[in-house]
Amino acid sequence: MESLGLSGEEASIQVVGRDRYAEYVALMVGIASSLEKFATEVRNLQRTEIGEVAEAFEKGQVGSSTMAHKENPITSENVCGLARIVRGFVVPAYENVSLWHERDLTNSSAERFILPHVTVLVDDMLHKMSGVFENLRVREDRMWENLEATGGLVMAEAVMMFLAKKGMGRQKAHELVRQLSLEARSEQKGLREVLLRDEAVASALSEAELEEALDPRNYLGASEEIVDRVVSICEDSN
């Protein structure tokens, strides 16, 4: 117990209070739900119309019994399904907290299912998602294609912020960029082209500054630092 950081029951009767069991199950449910969140993101990004990442697909692996071309994210789908099973155990775990005279055995039959299943299932899910991320196929070229498919509209916020820094009121900059974005969309033109022909934008930003504002690589914020910090924490914990 000391090795696991567990303490003994401070005031128990014939049985240990079931609130600690419920807390354990809730923790497993939280982990399972986080894993489902990660798996859902992989599944979404693997969709044909996005195609930015994909699970590993081994030689000889079959994605569909009828559609020979398919490469399904089967592991991520499996994890999402198992998360729903794990969450289903949280209600009976909390129902077990209240016992008649703190001693009846209504908890026992339920816990014989709850505790082994949540533990084994979450362990299985962790193993599976570790494999997904260790072998994840990442398509940077597809990410660029998706960014460029917007015709620059994805960088409208960055342009607005540049205009605000150059002295234009933020609300005025927002309205200007909003109107120009609508024009670009309705005319099926790139945002850059529409911005360049606008007098208010041209008087506030040089062409070089506009190019800088429209480059997604210049609008990453603290994302790189956040990733490095999280990776460092994970490495230290191992």
CA-wise closest residue to 179 among 8, 163, 165: 163
Domain count, the chain: 2
25 shares its domain with 122: yes
CA-wise closest residue to 162 among 93, 212, 116, 96: 212
40 shares its domain with 125: yes
Amino acid identity of 221? G
97 shares its domain with 154: no
- What is the CB neighbour count within 10 angstroms for residue 190? 16
Under the banding of pLDDT at 50, 70 and 90, the label for residue 209 is: very high
What average pLDDT score do residues 197-219 get? 93
By percentage, how much of the chain surpasses pLDDT 90?
A: 77
Q: What is the CATH number of the domain that holds 109?
A: 1.20.200.10
What average pLDDT score do residues 95-111 get? 88
Alpha helices in 150-206 (DSSP H): 156-165, 170-187, 191-196, 199-204
User: CA-to-CA distance for 103 and 105, rounded, in angstroms?
Assistant: 7
Residue 236 lies in a domain: no
pLDDT at residue number 70: 66
For residue 64, pLDDT over 80 is answered with no
For residue 203, pLDDT over 80 is answered with yes
43 shares its domain with 139: yes
Supply φ then ψ for residue 202, to 5 degrees: -60, -35
Q: What is the CATH number of the domain that holds 185?
A: 1.10.40.30
Calculate the alpha carbon distances from 211 to 4, 98, 197 in Å: 55, 64, 14
Range of the domain at 176: 150-218
Q: Is 181 exposed, middle or buried (0-12, 13-18, 19+ CB in 10 A)?
A: buried
